[in-house]
Amino acid sequence: MEATYGGTRIGRQELDGEFLEDAEGALWTRELIERCRIPLPAREGSGVGASAASAAKSSIQSALSRLDAHPPSIPPFQGGMHFDRIVVGVDPPAGGGEGSDACGIVACGSSGGALYVLEDATVRGLSPEGWASRVAAAAARWNTSQVVAEANNGGAMVQSVLQAADLGLFVRLVHATKGKSARAEPIALKFETGKAWFAGEFPELEAELGGMIAGGGYEGPGRSPDRADAMVWAMTVLSETRSGVPRVRRL
């Protein structure tokens, strides 16, 4: 942890015990992250057992009551945590091996119109074949074949190494035309309005999200918010309507 966060803003808080205020203009404040946290569901196919579902439902309803900005038109969580769809988001590194950026790998699911962060499986310092195998493993753990990967760094190579890791993966390549923070803003809005949740604790992902600034810029740990970008891609795909346009509720 010292190697990752030493000397950074989050490191001063987590390693040195120094309380720091949120970065000015942060898309995800610490308060927002904490009120949008629910228990992590157990992995049983694409759903969870009755007791876990009941606990998750209770936790979500409690969290919704704390969301001051939560509009009445958005219904509370209904039903058990049985996911309609699960997608693994991938932000591939430009290179491979020691010293390269991390490969962001984040699994997200949708249930009843709400989105959930399920797992942060991000890895660093691996070859393309190495991180591709970790993506395939994450997809297998969540019983999904759907992967969305940013194609700006590698393009066809990204798709080929992922499908070499598992021929059963359905890989959708996406090209970034906006900055990372601009892409993240519609997803941050979903958290603010009770339509997206953290199913468990994800310290490194949350640290990156806290460093994403409205209007552009990044003030979190590391050179790039690889975990956050992978999460944003997965949730963007899960938010799409049949026309391919993300559904964003405007207040």
What pLDDT does 140 receive?
96
Of the chain, the end-to-end C-alpha distance in Å amounts to 39
What are the boundaries of each domain within the chain?
A: 26-239
**What is the CATH architecture of 26-239?**
2-Layer Sandwich (3.30)
Quick check: pTM over 0.85? no
Residue type at 50? Answer: A
Q: What are phi and psi of 159, to 5 degrees?
A: -65, -40
109 near 131, Cβ under 8 Å?
no
Based on its alpha-carbon atoms, the radius of gyration of the chain, rounded to whole angstroms, reads: 17
- How many other β-carbons are positioned within 10 Å of the β-carbon of residue 36? 24
- 52 in helix, strand or coil? helix
Q: What is the pLDDT tens value at each position of the chain, 251 positions in all?
A: 555 544 444 554 555 544 457 888 999 999 999 999 997 665 544 443 444 445 455 555 555 554 443 333 333 333 346 889 999 999 999 876 666 789 999 999 999 899 999 999 999 999 999 999 999 999 999 999 999 999 887 778 899 999 999 999 999 999 988 888 899 999 999 999 999 999 999 999 999 999 999 988 899 998 889 999 999 999 999 998 654 444 433 32
What pLDDT does 32 receive?
96
What pLDDT does 77 receive?
36
The token pair that represents 159 in the structure block: 């798709």
Distance, CA of 167 to chain centre: 24
Q: Which value, to the nearest 10 degrees, does the dihedral of the CA atoms of residues 173, 136, 124, 218 take? A: 40
What pLDDT does 215 receive?
86
